[in-house]
Amino acid sequence: MKTNKTISGLKEDLSKVLLPLYVDKISCGFPSPASNYMEKKLDLNEHLIKNRASTFIVRAMGDSMEPLILEGDELIVDRLEEPKNKNIVIAIVDGEFTMKRLILKGNKKYLKAENNNYNIVEITDSIEIWGVVQKILRTV
Amino acid sequence: MIALVDCNSFFASCEKVFRPDLKNAPVVVLSNNDGCIVAASREAKEILDLDMFRPYFEYKDVLKKNNVHVFSSNYTLYGDISARIMNLLHSFTQNIEVYSIDEAFLEVKGFTNLYEYGERIKKSIYQGTGIPVSVGIAKTKVLAKIATGIAKKNDGICILDTKEKTEDALKKTDVKEIWGIGRAYKKKLYRFGTRTALEFRDLSDLFIKKQFTKVGLNIALELRGINCINMELNPSPSKGITTSRSFGKSVEKLQDLEEAISEYTTLACTKMRTQNLSARHISIFITTNSFKDNSPQYWNSYSERLLVNTDSTSEIIGYALKGLRKIYKRGYSYKKAGVMLTDLIDSKTIEPDLFDSLSMTDRQKNSKLMKTVDKINLKWGRNCLYHASSGIKQSWQMKRNLMSPCYTTRWEDIPTVR
pLDDT at res. B360: 72
CA B66 from chain centre, in angstroms, equals 29
Q: Find the residue in B nearest to A60 (Cα).
A: B417
Which residues have CB under 8 Å from B12's CB, separation 6+?
B27, B28, B29, B39, B40, B41, B44, B71
Alpha-helical runs (H) found in B197-285: 197-201, 205-223, 254-274
pLDDT of residue B317: 92
What pLDDT score was predicted for residue A14? 47
Q: What is the DSSP letter of B230?
A: -
* Span B95-140, pLDDT tens digits: 888 888 899 999 999 888 999 999 999 999 999 999 999 999 999 9
Is the distance from CB of B142 to CB of B266 less than 8 angstroms? Answer: no
Beta strand pairing status for B37-40 and A74-78?
A: unpaired
Summarize the confidence of residues B198-223 as an average pLDDT.
91
* Average pLDDT over every residue of B181-209: 90
Residue-wise over B326-348: b if at least 16 C-beta within 10 A, else e?
A: eebeeebbbbbbbbbbbebeebe
Q: pLDDT value at position B57?
A: 85
Of B20, B88, B130, the CB nearest to A97: B20
| Mean pLDDT across chain A | 83
Provide the pLDDT for residue B383. 61
- Percent pLDDT > 70 in chain B is 91
Cα–Cα distance measured from residue B354 to residue B67, given in angstroms and rounded to the nearest whole number: 66
Question: Which of B391, B396, B394 has the alpha carbon at shortest distance from B249?
Answer: B396
The partner residues of B237 in beta bridges, in order of sequence, read none
d(CA B97, CA B81): 17
Region label for B31, one of left (φ > 0), alpha (ψ between -120 and 50) or beta (otherwise): beta
pLDDT digits (tens, 9 = 90+) for B388-408: 777 666 667 766 788 999 999
Residue B122's CB: how many other CB atoms inside 10 A? 19
CA distance B287 to B216: 34
CA distance A99 to A61: 9
The overall average pLDDT reported for chain B is 87
**Bigger pLDDT: A87 vs B251:** A87
Catalytic, out of A84, A100, A108, A112: A100
Coil, helix or strand for B266? helix
Q: pLDDT-derived band of residue A12, with 50, 70 and 90 as boundaries?
A: very low
Is pLDDT of B144 > 60? yes
Shortest alpha-carbon distance between residue A56 and chain B (Å): 7
Radius of gyration of chain A (CA): 32
pLDDT at A4 over 50: no
Of B127, B130, B418, the CB nearest to A96: B418
Residue B53: which pLDDT band, with cuts at 50, 70 and 90?
low
The answer to whether B396 touches B248, Cβ cutoff 8 Å, is yes
Neighbours of B308 (CB within 10 A): 17
Is B87 an interface residue toward A (CB < 8 Å)? yes
Lowest mean pLDDT among A32-46, B47-61, B352-366: B352-366
Is pTM beyond 0.80? Reply is no
- How far from chain centre, in Å, is Cα A107? 35
Closest Cβ–Cβ partner in B85, B87, B408 for A56: B408
Q: Which residue of B has its CA nearest to A64?
A: B418
| CB interface of A with B, residues 71-110, below 8 Å | 74-75, 79-80, 90, 92, 95-99
Phi and psi at residue B391, to the nearest 5°: 85, 155
Say if residue A23's pLDDT is above 50: no
Residues 6+ apart with CB under 8 A from B235: B98
Query: What DSSP designation does B342 have?
Result: E
Q: If we measure between CA atoms, which residue out of B95, B97, B123 comes closest to residue B110? A: B95
Sheet with B133-138: strands ordered across: B96-100, B103-107, B2-7, B133-138, B157-159
* Least Cα separation, residue B410 to chain A (angstroms): 10
The per-residue pLDDT for B275 is: 84
Sign of CA dihedral B167, B172, B175, B177: negative
The predicted model gives B139-145 an average pLDDT of 95
A52 Cβ under 8 Å from any chain B Cβ: yes
